């Protein structure tokens, strides 16, 4: 399936889940496997792009043929790395499941249990994709919306709010699976639905849409 339709294009991809440390032995995270983002990174490299993959935690093997692979832990670290690469990228695909909140305070020593309940204060993490959309120049932006309900409606809201060129909507309940059903929605609100397929096949479908959007420019 080798192809060169993205030859010379710089693509920045985030994938995986972030970990927000609470103390030396505990963290907040989520169920994202990182498979969709890693599949997109692999497909983009196969299509000839210069791929930078910034990854939170996953159990996956690093795709072949990447230009850069950068491993990060927290949302703040991911934000800093994305910010560093964004200016010099043509396409930014935000696939990572970034924690929306982090503990206000990191405890240097393991928190001891007591007989009473514990209240932990959380503070907002930056929305990486939203922040990049404010700095957008020529970059094509692709976001994901994993929703449990009102999937299309929520995806359209994010498309507008984050000034995206494409949003890929899917049902959040499939997190971790090797296959998915998605709807690719373009900024003109036209869309295509793609039925059950492997994430690798979906990666090629998503990148074909990216190529189409680039050709419209
Ligand atoms: O608003 P929501 O988190 O559902 O938006 C999902 C999209 O935004 C995904 O593309 C995700 O990678 C990105 N995102 C981000 N930084 C965050 C939260 C979400 O880049 N802090």
pLDDT of amino acid 177 = 86
Give me the residues paired with residue 141 across strands. Answer: 92
Global pTM reads 0.96
pLDDT of amino acid 117 = 97
pLDDT band at 91 (very low <50, low <70, confident <90, very high): very high
CA distance 180 to 174: 7
Number of domains in the chain: 1
Average pLDDT over residues 167-177: 87
pLDDT of amino acid 65 = 97
Q: Is residue 156 part of a domain?
A: yes
SS3 43: helix
Give the domain range for residue 187: 10-107+119-216
Residue 82 near ligand 1, beta carbon < 6 Å: no
Nearest to 144 by CA among 77, 98, 188: 98
Q: Is residue 112 part of a domain?
A: no
Average pLDDT over residues 49-69: 98
Quote the ligand 1 centre to 203 CA distance (angstroms): 18
Q: Identify the CATH number of the domain in which residue 90 sits.
A: 3.40.50.10300
Residue 125 near ligand 1, beta carbon < 6 Å: yes
pLDDT of amino acid 66 = 98
Q: Is residue 5 part of a domain?
A: no
SS3 42: helix
Tokens 């514990």 belong to residue: 118
pLDDT band at 2 (very low <50, low <70, confident <90, very high): low
Lowest mean pLDDT among 89-93, 130-134, 170-174: 170-174
């Amino acid at each position: 399936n080798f192809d060169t339709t993205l030859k010379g294009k710089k693509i920045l991809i985030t994938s995986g889940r972030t970990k927000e440390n609470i103390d030396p032995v505990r963290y907040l995270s989520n169920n994202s496997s990182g498979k969709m983002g890693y599949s997109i990174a692999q497909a983009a490299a196969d299509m000839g792009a210069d791929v930078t993959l910034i990854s939170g935690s996953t159990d996956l093997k690093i795709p072949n043929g990447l230009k850069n692979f950068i491993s990060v832990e927290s949302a703040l670290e991911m934000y800093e790395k994305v910010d560093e690469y964004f200016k010099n990228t043509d396409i930014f695909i935000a696939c990572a499941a970034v924690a929306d909140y982090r503990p206000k305070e990191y405890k240097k020593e393991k928190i001891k249990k007591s007989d009473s309940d514990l209240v932990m204060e959380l503070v907002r993490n930056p929305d990486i994709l939203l922040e990049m959309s404010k700095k957008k120049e020529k970059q094509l932006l692709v976001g994901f919306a994993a929703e449990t309900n009102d999937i299309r409606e929520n995806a359209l809201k994010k498309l507008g709010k984050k000034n995206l060129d494409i949003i890929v909507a899917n049902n959040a309940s499939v997190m971790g699976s090797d296959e998915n059903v998605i709807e690719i929605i373009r900024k003109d609100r036209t869309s295509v639905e793609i039925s059950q397929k492997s994430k690798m096949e979906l990666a090629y479908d998503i990148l074909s849409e990216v190529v189409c959007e680039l050709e419209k420019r």
